[in-house]
Structure 1
Amino acid sequence: MSKDIKVALVTGGNRGIGYELVKQLALKGFKVILASRDPEMGHKAVQKLKESNLDVSFVVMDVDNQESIHQAAITVSERYGRVDILINNAGVYLEENKRLVAMDPSILERTMTTNFFGAYHVIRSFIPLMEKQGYGRIINVSSEYGAMSDMSYPGVGAYKLSKFALNGLTRMVAAEINGDIKINAVDPGWVRSDMGGPSASRTPKQAADSILWLATIGPEGPNGGFFRDGKRIDW
């Protein structure tokens, strides 16, 4: 495969922001791997994009399952030998509007499994491919709900904690990586999707634009930052 063609992988790529990210990356000339836990929905999404002559392929990956992530990494390594851009987009919002200490603990556990540990295991499995070539861009789709200041307000506790932990992971990995590998977190805003609902103020395309600039930053670009619409925001 040509050295000039970069490979991008998007988790939770079959709908919402994820689907839009896959589409926009492919339109920019990336070879894109759409990762989804549901093979049927994943293949359907890829088919739709291929009809527009976009270079998109599918890999099954359930971010709640370490073995599934490990197998996906092996598949991608065998098929492409590299990953240049990794977007951790897969996430859940399972909120019961109860106090954190009063909610069913399984809600918190399931939220952390997907939103935090999912991203952690995906990074852990794919970063060796980036280290092998000394280049990579990792983008964690976070939320303003994960900001430290938001912890002072009650409500959506499981989701908030999961994004707070994801932000912490972003900073720690940024401090540990070498070479031209960068990791950043992004708040895409309130987006019209299955998660955001129909009354949200932003389209998936607007959200994708606010994320994608981080995919193409040069070696002087930010590392370990938290952004909204291209501007750095407080942790």
Structure 2
Amino acid sequence: MASNKEIVFITGGNTGLGYEVVKALYKSPRPYEIILGCRAVSKGEEAIATLQKEIPESASTLSVQQADLESDASLEQAVAAISAIHGGRLDVLINNGGASFDNDIAPHGRAMSVRDAFNKMWDVNVSGTHVLTQLAAPLLLQSSAPRLLFVTSGTATLAETEIFDTPMGRRLNASPPAGWPKGSAGPGMMAVMGYRSAKTGLNMVMREWARILRNDGVKVWATGSRPRGALDPSVGGETVREVVEGKRDGEVGKVVRRDMVQPW
């Protein structure tokens, strides 16, 4: 059944930043049909129950849709279900789902190979997100004001790999001591290499989708954050809500942070 509310689908909506985005939208006076994309439906239902206890009254409604970014079949079924329920329309797609497996690489983690860990990070953060966007694009084109968001990382900016005058800059960007093997912690750690690389790749995916959908009237962004390590996820949730509600329309095609445009 088609809804008069804006229809929002967010991957990874049951935890972390995704949950904070859902909360920010659920608190808004604007009415939304918020669909939480989750690998496990039970996790999404738990998140909804928690959120409804925190916010007893809302203009919006919540539902869960199973969606696994590593499975094309799962994503095809998710988009088909959303299309059937909501009259072939989607107003906002928030590509939030993602993961890091750098710490799982042997010998520091659970014995994943470098190749397996890197491939899994690109599969989840980039390939799966691109596949979902491709599948959902026809639904976005049925919206009168479609919006497409990619949640990237503050660690993905190439320009800020040359920052060394902050604690986080030194931790992320400093070179480790000479010799081998290199550690997974401390200055110059290797335990973020795959995730940073994948999210940098995601920035280009966003730019390409902004180019491809420009003449269709789809507004496209990525949202990031300063790589400080201690920024509360609720801040990121409010930033995404601002994008959804039109407060960052002057920065279409960019990576937006709470207080600035993130450099490339």
TM-score range, shorter chain: 0.7 to 0.9
| Aligned match of 1:61 | 67
Q: Superposition pairs for residues 185-196 of structure 1, below 5 Å?
A: 185-189=222-226
TM-superposed CA distance for 1:53, in Å, is 4.2
TM-superposition CA deviations, 1:25-72 (whole Å, max 9, x none): 122221100110012111211233345244100100001111101100
Q: How does 1:172-211 map to 2 (within 5 A)?
A: 172-177=208-213, 178-189=215-226, 200-211=229-240
TM-score, normalization by structure 2: 0.77
- Aligned residue in 2 for 1:40: 42
Match of 1:129 in 2: 139
Q: d(CA) in 2 for partners of 1:223 and 1:6?
A: 19
**Number of the residue aligned with 2:79:** 73
2:204 partner amino acid: G
Greater CA deviation, 104-113 or 204-213?
204-213
CA contact 1:144–1:189 (8 Å) conserved in 2 = yes
2:251 counterpart of 1:222: yes
Aligned pair 1:213/2:242, yes or no? yes
Aligned partner letter, 1:158: G
Counterparts of 1:128 and 1:74, CA distance in 2: 11
TM-fit CA distance, 1:114: 0.4
- Going from structure 1 to structure 2, the CA distance change for 1:145 and 1:97 (only over 3 Å counts) comes to farther
Unaligned runs of 5+ in 1: 192-199
User: Quick one: which of 85, 95, 116 aligns to 1:88?
Assistant: 95
Is contact 1:151-1:160 (8 Å) kept?
no
Q: CA 1:220–1:145 in 2, change beyond 3 Å: closer, same or farther?
A: closer
Any idea what SS the aligned residue of 1:210 has?
A: helix
Report the secondary structure of 2:9's partner residue: strand
Q: Assess, with a 3 A threshold, how the Cα gap between structure 1 residues 106 and 150 changes in structure 2: closer, same or farther.
A: farther
SS at match of 1:229: coil
CA 1:42–1:2 in 2, change beyond 3 Å: closer, same or farther? closer
Alpha-carbon distance in 2 for matches of 1:119, 1:230: 26
Contact persistence 2:251–2:261 (CA under 8 A): no
Counterpart for residue 168 of structure 1: 204
Report deviation, 1:180. Answer: 2.5
- Does the 8 Å CA contact 1:213/1:230 hold for their aligned counterparts? no
Q: TM-score, normalised by structure 1?
A: 0.85
SS at match of 1:139: strand
State whether structure 2 residue 119 is matched by structure 1 residue 113. Answer: no
Q: Report the RMSD for the aligned CA atoms in angstroms.
A: 2.4
Which SS does the other structure have where 1:10 is aligned?
strand
Partner of 2:159: 149
